[in-house]
């Protein structure tokens, strides 16, 4: 059986007046039904651009310059916009950091959910309400019959994000892409939303791509992690392997920077330097200006993403091996 999602040699460029800049440079990964993949890295690593490229919703001047995105074997990046809109509505749902990007503040939750159902299914208004209530129950909204008649501002931040997840479920998608879905929430609510996403992926057999800068969040929920740096995947593997035995110096730096790795009284670890901008990606290994173990060859040769012993584990570093 084919993978739910296959991203093959994906390349995204931004067409600017002075020439094209490469934002995503040869990204490859697969996702199966019910599987959860975390894409992590600092701001500017290319995580969100990868998410938007998958749903073919890059804002101009971004465009897919090479590669393929296949959902259930169907190549998405060659589909006419009308068909792609159907896929976005029915097979893929996206959840954003700010629930208010999805929710309309002047409409009740009932109106927003029922309109979505009616736009995708030939059912009566009463049936659409039943479907909406069923999804609110699935995301553990207390008293859904009462909550459905409220406006978004009458709900807490965590409740609003649950409602967004319920809306994402309305079309029974095969894949959910969640871009920093809990960054604006406090830690307890964050954990609840993450548990909920995990539970729904398992019960509904949906694939999940969780895009976040927070390796701690990803390690709670996902089975697989792809670490991105300067538009490339620099390490990919099972969450357990990557977290317990990180190979790439950038992944090691991200793990050391987690607050949980702090000893009492010690200072927060930081990766020195900054993520390069698209206009000044260093030659060779893009991480070399920040790498504490790099050698002269790292400045000249781009390290390939390769597996050493485990086929599912790949790292792009000259010194791993
Ligand atoms: Fe560091 Fe060299 Fe590995 Fe890049 S290739 S991460 S510079 S050791």
The pLDDT score that the predictor gives to residue 296 is: 93
Mutate to test the pocket of ligand 1, among 232, 298, 300, 320 (most ligand atoms within 8 A of CB): 298
- Judged against a pLDDT cut of 70, whether residue 25 lies above it is answered with yes
Residue 131 to residue 113: CA distance in whole angstroms: 9
Q: What pLDDT does 187 receive? A: 83
Q: Average pLDDT over the chain, rounded to whole?
A: 92
pLDDT at 274 over 90: yes
Tell me the mean pLDDT in the region 145-157.
95
> Measured from the CA of 234, which atom of ligand 1 is nearest?
6
- Give, for ligand 1, the residue of 234, 293, 321 to mutate: max count of ligand atoms closer than 8 Å to Cβ: 293
For residue 186, the model assigns a pLDDT of 83
Confirm if 230 and 45 have CB atoms less than 8 A apart. Answer: yes
Closest CA to 237 of 307, 318, 179, 320: 307
As a whole number of angstroms, the distance between CA 188 and CA 207 comes to 24
pLDDT at 262: 56
pLDDT per residue over 168-186, tens digit each? 999 999 999 999 988 777 8
Q: Cα separation of 254 and 232, whole Å? A: 16
Q: What is the pLDDT of residues 200-247, one digit of tens each?
A: 999 989 999 999 998 988 998 999 999 999 999 999 999 999 999 999
Does the pTM exceed 0.85? yes
Those residues whose C-beta lies under 8 Å from the C-beta of residue 200, and which sit 6 or more positions away, are 138, 139, 165, 169, 206
Q: Which residue is listed with tokens 């317990």?
A: 244
pLDDT at 265: 67
Task: Give residues (CB < 6 A) around ligand 1.
Answer: 248-249, 285, 287-288, 291, 293-294, 298, 303, 317-319
Q: Of 230, 212, 232, 229, whose CA–CA distance to 221 is shortest?
A: 212
Quick one: pLDDT band at residue 249, thresholds 50, 70, 90?
very high
């Amino acid at each position: 059986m084919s993978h739910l999602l296959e991203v093959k040699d994906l390349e995204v460029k931004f067409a600017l007046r002075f020439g094209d800049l490469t934002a995503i440079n040869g990204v490859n990964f697969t996702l199966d039904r019910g599987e959860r993949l975390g894409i992590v890295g600092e701001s500017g690593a290319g995580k969100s651009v990868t998410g938007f490229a998958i749903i073919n919703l890059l804002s101009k001047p971004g465009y897919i310059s090479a590669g393929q995105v296949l959902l259930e074997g169907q190549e998405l990046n060659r589909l006419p916009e009308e068909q792609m809109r159907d896929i976005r509505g029915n097979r893929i749902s996206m959840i954003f950091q700010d629930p208010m990007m999805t929710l309309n503040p002047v409409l009740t939750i009932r109106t927003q959910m029922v309109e979505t159902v009616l736009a995708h299914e030939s059912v009566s208004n009463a049936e659409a309400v039943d479907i909406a209530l069923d999804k609110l129950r699935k995301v553990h909204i207390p008293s859904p019959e009462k909550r459905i008649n409220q406006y978004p501002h009458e709900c807490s931040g965590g409740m609003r994000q649950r409602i967004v997840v319920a809306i994402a479920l309305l079309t029974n998608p095969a894949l959910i892409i969640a871009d920093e879905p809990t960054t604006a929430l406090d830690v307890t609510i964050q954990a609840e939303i993450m548990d909920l996403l995990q539970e729904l992926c398992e019960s509904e057999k949906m694939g999940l791509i969780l895009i976040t800068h927070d390796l701690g969040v990803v390690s709670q929920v996902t089975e697989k992690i792809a670490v991105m740096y300067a538009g490339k995947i620099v390490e990919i593997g099972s969450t357990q392997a990557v977290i317990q035995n990180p190979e790439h110096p950038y992944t090691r730096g991200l793990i050391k920077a987690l607050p949980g790795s702090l000893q009492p009284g010690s200072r927060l670890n930081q990766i020195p330097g900054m993520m390069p901008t698209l206009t000044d990606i260093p030659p060779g290994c893009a991480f070399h200006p920040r790498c504490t173990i790099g050698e002269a060859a790292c400045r000249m040769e781009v390290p390939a993403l390769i597996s050493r012993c485990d086929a599912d584990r790949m790292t792009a570093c000259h010194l791993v091996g």
